[in-house]
Chains A and B, each alone.
Chain A
Amino acid sequence: EAQVTQNPRYLITVTGKKLTVTCSQNMNHEYMSWYRQDPGLGLRQIYYSMNVEVTDKGDVPEGYKVSRKEKRNFPLILESPSPNQTSLYFCASSLLTGGGIYGYTFGSGTRLTVV
């Protein structure tokens, strides 16, 4: 089944403790991206990647890192989480064509709470 898999689904952590949210897709998509969803602010793009070793900042990259060492994986790293990073996080992937992306597929989400 074609899918984007995020782990964990739920995470409660303490301020300053480094964490990684994993994301993997099995569709051989070039494009991957991370979003966060917050009440009143909607979904905002954190980082994106056009292909292996090609990543760039989205609208809200502060406090986050990403890497794209393999095509299928795009982990989100919080080096020193803070309470304002409490949010619902989504990973997404898409086929990249000459005309742009061909629709996003989102993972199931990771609900992160930083205390």
Chain B
Amino acid sequence: GIQVEQSPPDLILQEGANSTLRCNFSDSVNNLQWFHQNPWGQLINLFYIPSGTKQNGRLSATTVATERYSLLYISSSQTTDSGVYFCAVDSGGSNYKLTFGKGTLLTVNP
């Protein structure tokens, strides 16, 4: 099946810093999403981005489907950005299953 690798596994930032999270996937995808899992366990959808670039406030994402990677940018980080960021892909199987990466644990210190 499709492999999804995220880097870095852990990231510690000071409030106000910028960061880039990376997601590499091993095959073509129909769907790619970025999620934030907050400390209460909720999975928050950040971007649906199978290709191209999107921005939402301090967050933006770029997916280069031909090179099989996606990047999530967080600018001017805040303590509320802490949590685990997951990249998840759907490679087009009949079950439309999302395959998740192992996530990046982001800690933003005040």
CB within 8 Å of B: which residues of A?
31, 33, 35, 42-43, 45, 48, 56, 58-59, 88, 90, 94, 96, 99-106, 108-109, 111
Contact = CB atoms under 8 A, between A and B. Distances in A.
B63 to A, nearest CB: 13
Given A45-B95, A45-B97, A56-B95, A103 B31 contact: yes
Chain B interface residue count: which class? Answer: 20 to 34
Contacts, number: 56
Main SS class of interface, A: strand
30 contacts: A33-B96, A33-B97, A35-B98, A42-B102, A43-B86, A43-B88, A43-B98, A45-B95, A45-B97, A48-B95, A48-B96, A58-B97, A94-B96, A96-B96, A99-B30, A100-B31, A100-B96, A101-B90, A102-B31, A102-B48, A103-B45, A104-B33, A104-B88, A106-B35, A106-B45, A108-B41, A108-B42, A109-B41, A109-B43, A111-B41
Nearest to B48: A103
Contacts of A101: 30-31, 90, 96
Interface of B: 30-31, 33, 35, 41-43, 45, 48, 86, 88, 90, 92, 95-98, 100, 102-103
A99 B43 CA distance: 24
B95 A90 contact: no
A48 B97 CA distance: 8
Max count, chain A CB within 10 A of own CB: residue among B31, B33, B95: B95
A114 to B, nearest CB: 18
A101 B95 CA distance: 10
A42 B48 CA distance: 20
A11 B92 CA distance: 34
A101 B98 CA distance: 10
A26 B84 CA distance: 27
